[in-house]
């Protein structure tokens, strides 16, 4: 354990980067290329086990249309901000699975899945842009890398990713899925609330640049909150409290509106 952590120290010194838009310094211990490789494998496995709706389905067409606009807007923003490398290797893909779970997620590389269970709550394209902009922001901000890095330190004794894959493949796979909201939990609670707030802000800007009114975001999250009851939907389980989220969204709205052109 001590030797593993000592060997990791030189890498730690160069693992820091800043999240676009918010400027927060983050520590990602895992090479993004390896995360992308795991993403492609896990995404294909998920689709093989959860048959996506066909391209002719109107719900798929809507998701892909909104998704492509958001991807273009995000790329444009990052290019202007000098952070185009964040999506340089992304190959965007948008799919819909017939599942009543209220959820959506985006893996590294732009691999997106929307569950049919969340579509009634989105109501229209703007509501869909709220969800997808938020999830795309998680991938661009590399939140999953942060979550999985923490998970490897806590649950795998700080093993390097390749070693963890060889010695603890099941644990490593589960950590990856949980880090992107595909498992039963949405990552590590101590980190996810910070990430969710960050994704909210980034998502507002991306949807605004894509031509969707960011002022629809608080209304969507109000509808999500109303679905909670005693047990909130999975996508809300580690998000900020309703009051905190609404306050933060409204506080950031003037900045987001600067990017909105109807």
In a domain, 246, yes or no: yes
- Specify which of 77-86, 185-194, 230-239 reaches the highest per-range mean pLDDT: 77-86
Q: Is pLDDT larger for residue 96 or for residue 186?
A: 96
pLDDT, one tens digit per residue, over 7-66 is 343 344 345 778 888 888 887 877 888 888 888 998 999 999 999 999 999 999 999 999
Find the range with the poorest average confidence among 49-63, 69-83, 152-166, 178-192: 178-192
In a domain, 105, yes or no: yes
Average pLDDT over residues 121-125: 97
What residues act catalytically?
135
In a domain, 156, yes or no: yes
From residue 199, how far is each of 10, 23, 125, 167, 176 by CA, in Å? Answer: 30, 13, 19, 33, 19
Token duo for residue 54:
């066909």
Q: Domains in the chain: how many in total? A: 1
In a domain, 104, yes or no: yes
pLDDT, one tens digit per residue, over 134-147 is 999 999 999 888 88
Print the SS3 string covering the chain.
CHHHHHHHHHHHCCCEEECCCCCCEEECCCCHHHHHHHHHHHHHHHHHHCCECCCCCHHHHHHHHHHHHHHHHHHHHHHHCCCHHHHCCCCCEEEEECCCCCCEEEECCCEEEEEHHHHHHHCCHHHHHHHHHHHHHHHHCCHHHHHHHHHHHHHCCCCCHHHHHHHCHHHHHHHHHHHCCCCCCCCCHHHHHHHHHHHHHHHHHHHHHCCCCHHHHHHHHHHHHHCCCCCCCHHHCCCCCHHHHHHHHHHHHHHHHCCCCC
pLDDT, one tens digit per residue, over 205-224 is 999 999 999 999 999 998 98
pLDDT value for 170: 73
Q: Does residue 127 register a pLDDT over 60?
A: yes
Domain containing residue 27? 2-257
In a domain, 220, yes or no: yes
In a domain, 262, yes or no: no
């Amino acid at each position: 354990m001590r030797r593993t952590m000592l060997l990791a120290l030189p890498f730690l010194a160069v693992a820091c980067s800043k999240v676009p838009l918010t400027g927060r310094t983050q520590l990602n211990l895992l090479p993004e290329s390896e995360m992308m490789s795991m993403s492609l494998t896990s995404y294909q496995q998920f689709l093989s086990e959860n048959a996506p709706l066909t391209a002719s389905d109107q719900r798929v067409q809507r998701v892909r249309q909104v998704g492509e606009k958001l991807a273009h807007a995000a790329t444009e923003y990052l290019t202007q901000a000098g952070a185009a490398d964040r999506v340089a290797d992304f190959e965007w893909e948008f799919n819909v699975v017939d599942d009543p779970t209220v959820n959506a997620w985006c893996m590294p590389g732009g691999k997106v899945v929307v569950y049919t269970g969340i579509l009634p709550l989105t109501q229209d394209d703007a509501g869909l842009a709220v969800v997808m902009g938020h999830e795309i922001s998680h991938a661009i901000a590399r939140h999953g890398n942060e979550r999985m890095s923490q998970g490897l330190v806590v649950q795998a004794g700080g093993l390097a990713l390749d070693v963890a894959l060889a010695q603890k493949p099941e644990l490593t796979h589960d950590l990856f899925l949980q880090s992107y909201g595909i498992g039963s939990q949405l990552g590590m609670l101590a980190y996810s609330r910070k990430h969710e707030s960050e994704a909210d802000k980034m998502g507002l800007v991306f949807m605004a640049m894509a031509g969707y009114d960011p002022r629809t975001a608080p209304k969507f999250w109000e509808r999500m909150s109303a679905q909670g009851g005693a047990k909130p939907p999975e996508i809300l389980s580690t998000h900020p409290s309703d009051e905190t989220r609404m306050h933060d969204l409204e506080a950031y709205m003037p900045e987001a509106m600067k990017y909105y052109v109807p």
